[in-house]
C-alpha cells in the first residue's frame, strides 16, 4: 500500500545516526573579534578597534598648494614650484589632462606635472591603497590652470595705468580697458579682476554723470569677485589692490605684510592692534605716482587714520570731527564701522578713555574690531 509524508531510513542514515555524538552542555563561549586584515583575534571590541586604527588605518589622501588644501574645484593662476606642492597619504594618482587619461603616476611625478602645467584643465584622483584587503580611499580635485606669461601681465598693467589709473573712472573707460588689445590673451582674467575692482569703485561712489541703476550694495559683490581673482597673482599691483579691497570690506585677517602704501599700512596696523608701537611712517621726500583708484569712502578713512595718529593729544575738536564722519549718511556701513574703530583706537592711544567709550560701544560686537574693542570697553567701564 503506498505511503505519503515519510522517507524510509537507509543503511547509511542509520550508520550516521549511531555514530553521531552530542557535546555535553557547557557555558556560553566568550565572544571574539577577528581582524579582517590579518590573523589577529581580540577578546573585546575596544582592543579590536585600537588594533585596526593603529595597524590598518587608511587615511584620506590630499594635496596642498602653498600650504593649503585647495577646494574640490580650484583655479591656479600662478606658477607653482615643486617645494610649494605637497602630496600626502597617496599610493598613486590618476591624472586626466584636458580629458586625456594618463597611466597612474607617483606623487613625485604628479608634482612635476602640476609645476609644468600652465594652460589646461586637470582632473586629479588621489588614491591611498596602502591596505591590500581594504577598499582604497580616493579624493578628487578639478584644477583649472590659467597661468599667464609675465609679459602678458605687464601689458595688462600698462593698459590699466594708461586708461584707468590716470583718468577718471567711467563705464566707458572700463569698457575701453577691457577692449584694449593688451588685455586679451592669457592676461584676460587678470584684466577682468582689475576691471571688476574699478567698476566696484564706480558703483560705490555713484558719480552723477554716470546715471547708474545698479544697486549700491553690488559694489561688495564686485570687490569680492575682484579679490577672488587678484589674490592669486603674485604682482605688486594685484597685491596692493587686494589689500585695499580687504581693508574696504573690513577684512583684516591677512594684514601681516606691508604693501608699501604707507597710509594703508598705517590704517591696517592701527585697526589690527591699536596699541602697536610700530606704526608705519612716511618715507621722506619720495616721489609718488598714481597706481590705482581708491573709492572716496576708503580714501577718507585712510586720511582720518593718518590725521589722528599724527596728533599728540586728544581734544573735543577731534571728538566732533570723528563723530561727524562716523554718523554721516554718505558713507557705507563698513566705512561707518572703520570710522568708529579709528576714533576709538586713536582716542585710546592718546589716553582719552572717556572719549573712547562712545565709539567702543558701537563696535564692541562688530568683527574684526570686537577682538580688541570689547576688551577696551570693559577696561574703560570699570
Tell me the whole-structure pTM to 2 decimals: 0.82
**What is the model's pLDDT at position 256?**
64
Q: What are the sequence ranges of the domains in the chain?
A: 62-146, 150-249, 306-381
Cell, residue 55? 595597524
- Cβ-contact 56, 36 below 8 angstroms: no
Cell, residue 242? 587686494
pLDDT in tens, the chain (382 residues): 555 666 677 887 777 777 777 777 777 777 888 888 888 899 888 988 998 888 888 889 999 999 999 999 999 999 999 999 999 999 999 999 998 888 899 999 999 999 999 999 999 999 999 888 888 999 999 999 999 999 999 999 999 999 999 888 999 999 999 999 999 989 999 999 999 999 999 999 999 888 888 899 999 999 999 999 999 999 999 999 999 999 999 999 876 678 889 999 999 999 999 988 788 877 767 778 889 999 999 999 999 999 999 999 999 999 999 999 999 999 999 999 999 999 999 999 999 999 999 999 999 999 999 999 999 999 887 7
**What is the model's pLDDT at position 289?**
84
Residues 6 or more apart whose CB falls under 8 angstroms from that of 17 comprise 9
**What is the model's pLDDT at position 139?**
96
Share in percent of the chain as helix, strand, coil (round to 5)? 50, 10, 40
Amino acid at each position: 500500500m503506498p505511503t505519503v509524508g515519510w522517507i524510509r531510513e537507509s543503511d547509511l542514515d542509520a550508520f550516521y545516526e549511531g555514530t553521531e555524538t552530542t557535546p555535553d552542555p557547557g557555558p556560553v563561549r566568550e565572544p571574539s573579534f577577528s581582524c579582517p586584515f590579518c590573523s589577529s583575534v581580540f577578546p573585546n571590541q575596544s582592543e579590536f578597534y585600537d588594533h585596526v586604527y593603529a595597524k590598518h588605518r587608511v587615511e584620506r589622501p590630499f594635496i596642498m598648494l602653498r600650504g593649503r588644501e585647495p577646494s574640490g574645484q580650484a583655479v591656479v593662476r600662478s606658477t607653482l614650484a615643486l617645494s610649494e606642492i605637497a602630496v600626502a597619504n597617496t599610493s598613486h594618482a590618476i591624472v586626466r589632462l584636458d580629458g586625456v587619461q594618463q597611466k597612474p603616476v607617483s606623487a613625485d611625478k604628479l608634482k612635476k606635472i602640476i609645476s609644468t602645467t600652465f594652460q589646461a584643465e586637470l582632473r586629479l584622483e588621489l588614491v591611498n591603497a596602502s591596505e591590500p584587503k581594504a577598499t582604497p580611499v580616493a579624493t578628487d580635485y578639478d584644477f583649472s590652470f590659467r597661468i599667464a606669461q609675465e609679459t602678458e601681465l605687464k601689458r595688462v598693467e600698462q593698459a590699466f595705468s594708461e586708461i584707468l589709473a590716470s583718468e577718471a573712472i567711467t563705464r566707458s573707460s572700463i569698457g575701453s580697458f577691457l577692449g584694449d588689445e593688451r588685455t586679451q590673451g592669457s592676461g584676460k582674467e587678470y584684466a577682468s579682476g582689475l576691471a571688476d575692482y574699478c567698476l566696484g569703485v564706480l558703483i560705490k561712489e555713484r558719480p552723477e554723470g554716470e546715471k547708474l541703476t545698479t544697486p549700491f550694495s553690488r559694489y561688495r559683490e564686485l570687490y569680492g569677485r575682484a579679490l577672488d581673482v587678484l589674490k592669486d597673482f603674485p604682482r605688486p599691483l594685484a597685491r596692493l589692490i587686494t589689500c585695499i579691497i580687504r581693508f574696504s570690506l573690513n577684512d583684516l585677517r591677512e594684514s601681516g605684510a606691508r604693501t608699501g602704501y604707507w597710509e594703508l599700512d598705517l590704517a591696517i596696523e592701527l585697526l589690527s592692534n591699536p596699541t602697536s608701537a610700530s606704526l608705519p611712517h612716511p618715507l621722506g621726500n619720495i616721489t609718488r605716482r598714481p597706481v590705482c583708484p581708491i573709492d572716496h569712502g576708503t580714501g577718507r578713512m585712510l586720511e582720518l587714520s593718518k590725521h589722528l595718529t599724527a596728533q599728540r593729544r586728544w581734544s573735543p575738536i577731534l571728538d566732533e570731527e570723528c563723530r561727524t564722519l562716523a554718523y554721516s549718511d554718505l558713507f557705507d556701513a563698513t566705512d561707518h564701522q572703520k570710522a568708529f574703530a579709528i576714533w576709538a583706537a586713536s582716542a585710546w592711544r592718546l589716553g582719552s578713555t572717556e572719549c573712547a567709550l562712545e565709539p567702543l560701544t558701537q563696535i564692541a560686537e562688530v568683527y574684526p574690531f570686537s577682538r580688541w574693542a570689547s576688551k577696551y570697553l570693559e577696561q574703560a567701564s570699570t
